[in-house]
Amino acid sequence: MRIGIILSLGFASGVEALSLDPAASRRDFVGGAIIGSVASAIGAQSSWASDIIPFCVIGANGRTGTKCVQELLERGLPVRATSRSGVYNAGSSSNLLIPTVCDVTQPSTIAEAVQGTRSVIFAASASKQGGTPAQVDSEGLVNVAKACIEAKVPHLVIVSCGGVTRPDSAVYKFLNLLGGIMEEKIKGEDDVRSLYAKTEGGMTYTVIRPGGLTEEPARGVSAMELNQGDTKSGRISRYDVAKLCVEATLFPDLTGGSTFECYDADTGKPLETVGLSNILKMKTDPSEFVTGYERRGETYQELFRGLKKDSV
């Protein structure tokens, strides 16, 4: 459910084996390295996989959603890959893959998809086949958030878009020509923040705002920069965004209740100027423009440390 084009401003309109830190015991457990080795030894993958609490990816057939599914499978984690048809187009023979029907405009299908999951990644966005920006990026996102809260899903991670709070920027104006998609994205974000502000019980959310999305190979955590305030952006691989989504669920104490932008540090520029540099794939000097909210790290835990919580 993603508008599948890279726009001339260099932003994506949809904005559509274990690599965990060995020093973090919780992540080792969640990642399933030990479980994977045991399963290999006993040759009973299908039975043990059914006992592990799965993740859920909403919009699994989109370009970013597909990579989120692949990332989870590569870590040995079961995942419900959702789509309106219930078919996962990328295909996989893994017993960890659970193709699931979910239409974000139909709340009953959402409830079934997210029930009993440990985390939900919302990577859906409007497309000709899957609804308007209002139906998917705003109302659909809110439908998913309500279903997650009702089902007591611990963590909802949302893939949004850099620039959504800057209506005067060229990026916002250009992308918003697509059915008002930027207006709907920020509306959806704000509604989710309001919903969770009224929610008790330890459930949380994270909003990730990528810069211009590419199909290039992942560069890894050390190449990334996070920021807050929606004033700086750049380019980032969808593969890295997928890793970021999964890792965000492993550190809810650091990422929960927060909104942040992400891009490769050597592409970061003021939001108003990133269009041309993204198109030309230009590199930048990270020290040329500093907001004071930059976050870097050699591990995801370091990368996430210090993120500000949202105020509603």
Q: How confident is the model at residue 29 (pLDDT cuts 50, 70, 90)?
A: very low
For the CA atoms of 138, 143, 145, 150, what is the dihedral angle to 10 degrees? 160
Tens of pLDDT, residue by residue over 148-184, are 999 999 999 999 999 999 999 989 999 999 999 999 9
Read off the pLDDT of each residue in 282-305 and give the average, rounded to a whole number. Answer: 94
Look at residues 122, 131, 110, 132 and name the one whose alpha carbon lies nearest to residue 161: 122
Q: How confident is the model at residue 137 (pLDDT cuts 50, 70, 90)?
A: very high
What does the alpha-carbon distance between residue 93 and residue 190 come to, in Å, rounded to a whole number? 38
> Can you say whether residue 293 is alpha, beta or left, with left for phi > 0 and alpha for psi between -120 and 50 degrees?
alpha
Asked if residue 110 has pLDDT above 50, the reply is yes
Which pTM value belongs to this model? 0.85
Asked if residue 39 has pLDDT above 60, the reply is no
The pLDDT of residue 312 is 77
Tens of pLDDT, residue by residue over 111-135, are 999 999 999 999 999 988 779 999 9
Q: For residue 147, how many C-alpha atoms fall within 13 Å in the half-sphere facing its CB? A: 28
158 in Cβ contact with 123 (< 8 Å): no
Read off the pLDDT of each residue in 223-247 and give the average, rounded to a whole number. Answer: 98
